[in-house]
Amino acid sequence: MAAFFYGEGAAAYPLGYNPCGRCAAADGGPKQDAEGCSPPPVLLRRMGLFFADRVIMRQFLVCLLAATLVRALPAEAGLPAITRLDPNDTLFRQYQADVEYARRHLYNQQTQQRASPKEGASVPAEQLAGLTVYTYTPGPGEDLLALAARCNIPYAALATLNRLANPAGMAQAGVLLLPSVPGLFIPERADTDMERLLQAARGQEPGVRVTIRQPHKTEQFHFIPGADFSPTERSFFLNRGFYFPLKNYRLTSGFGPRISPITGTLKFHPGLDLAAPLGTEIYAVREGVVVDQGRNAVYGNYIIIRHEDNWASLYGHLQQIHTSLHMRVQSGSVIGRVGSTGLSTGPHLHFELRQFGKAQDPSKYLLNPP
């Protein structure tokens, strides 16, 4: 199981744990009392109980651990594991209470910031005071959007904390981490197109550094409390968006009926024609596998890349091809150069998007349409 930590350096402790004076002094952290390690106050807050007498507090914790926590927490003392998304599940009820607490806290913070905005203000560390992380193992047939609705947490928070590239990724994720605070968790090292997009768009936004420690890995995130996917990020996560294949271009022909520049007759144009200088770099619009490439009389030099959800992209009239058959390409990688091969009146890229083999209007799916 994972463990959530906050802070940096030697004085980083599990959330909710207050070290005693001896432990804190040894670790370079803040000094507490010298009697011994204080119990986790988060547990007491969750039970809604507050004790003034430390003896009573300790007796209560012993009983609580014997009666409840031994059964509720994993043997490796990791994060609390929710077994059912059901109000009868004690931990799920507590998780819902934590989410509600965090939402109220964020709402109050945002209200105060709107009332007295500060230019370039950073996210205060105290916004993490209510952040707790639970675990849950989805059952057969459960999907991300339904799970997020059940937990009353935006699916963006679940997706980014669990590093899901798309909703289908939950099926392979196994145990999920459930954060109590809505927001975006941007990993220190991006592995997927979705994470690279978030890093580029959100990496400089005010946030808090958090660390998730699991048995075989430790991950660090730039956490932006209260943030959600933008329309572009949401489109890309839901596999509805594609990067643009050229950085600089001029749209010379759109999708749909047109007068053919070759025959002069009305014909259906199944893609976009994007004029660009000869040799301009062409980029893969999304991660995928090259399923066909070569040369024919119409498209000249061409590449077809297969993507998830039965999508495919076609790039025609290329001067050069920089891929090989069955090669896996990353979104934004250079796959060829603009040319004027095949039936062409000048240097340009003919670009198509197909789903289930049927041509779709690329301008509806490109992240920065022409």
Average pLDDT over residues 179-200: 89
pLDDT at residue 311, rounded to an integer: 93
pLDDT at residue 273, rounded to an integer: 96
Buried b / exposed e along 268-278 (16+ C-beta atoms within 10 A): ebbbbbbbbee
Cα(320)–Cα(281) distance, rounded to whole angstroms? 10
14-18, 93-97, 299-303 — most confident range:
299-303
Range with the poorest average pLDDT among 8-12, 216-220, 269-273, 278-282: 8-12
Q: What token pair was written down for 309?
A: 């959800």
Instruction: Answer yes or no: is pLDDT of 210 > 60.
Output: yes
Query: Does the predicted TM-score (pTM) go above 0.75?
Result: no
Cα(178)–Cα(180) distance, rounded to whole angstroms? 7
As a dihedral over the C-alpha atoms of residue 363, residue 367, residue 368, residue 370, rounded to 10 degrees, the angle is: -10
pLDDT at residue 307, rounded to an integer: 93
pLDDT at residue 154, rounded to an integer: 95
Cα(48)–Cα(346) distance, rounded to whole angstroms? 73
Cα(91)–Cα(329) distance, rounded to whole angstroms? 43
69-83, 118-132, 142-156, 162-176 — most confident range:
142-156
> Within a 13 Å sphere around the CA of 331, how many CA atoms are in the beta-carbon half?
21
> Domain 250-364 falls in which CATH fold?
Glucose Permease (Domain IIA) (2.70.70)
pLDDT at residue 130, rounded to an integer: 67
Average pLDDT over residues 39-54: 42
Q: Is the dihedral of CA 152, 197, 288, 268 positive or negative?
A: positive
Average pLDDT over residues 38-62: 43
> What percent of the chain is modeled with pLDDT above 90?
45
**Summary mean pLDDT of the chain:** 78
Residue-wise pLDDT tens digits, 230-256: 988 888 888 767 888 998 899 999 999
Among 46, 230, 259, 98, which residue's Cα sits nearest to residue 156? Answer: 230
Q: What token pair was written down for 165?
A: 């590239």
- Cross-strand pairs, 209: 222
Range with the poorest average pLDDT among 60-64, 194-198, 317-321: 60-64
116-120, 208-212, 324-328 — most confident range:
324-328
pLDDT at residue 10, rounded to an integer: 30
> What percent of the chain is modeled with pLDDT above 70?
74
Instruction: Answer yes or no: is pLDDT of 57 > 70.
Output: no
What angle, rounded to 10 degrees, do the helices at 144-151 and 90-115 form?
A: 80
Average pLDDT over residues 318-329: 96
List C-alpha distances in Å: 22 to 40, 169, 176.
17, 45, 36
Instruction: Answer yes or no: is pLDDT of 46 > 50.
Output: no
Cα(236)–Cα(231) distance, rounded to whole angstroms? 9
pLDDT at residue 118, rounded to an integer: 60
**Backbone dihedral angles phi then psi of residue 103, each to the nearest 5 degrees:** -65, -45
CB 216 within 8 A of CB 230: no
State the DSSP string of 8-51: SGGG-EETT-B--HHHHHHHT-----SSSPBP-HHHHHHHT---
Residue 192 or 144, more confident:
144
Among 253, 361, 256, 240, which residue's Cα sits nearest to residue 317? Answer: 253
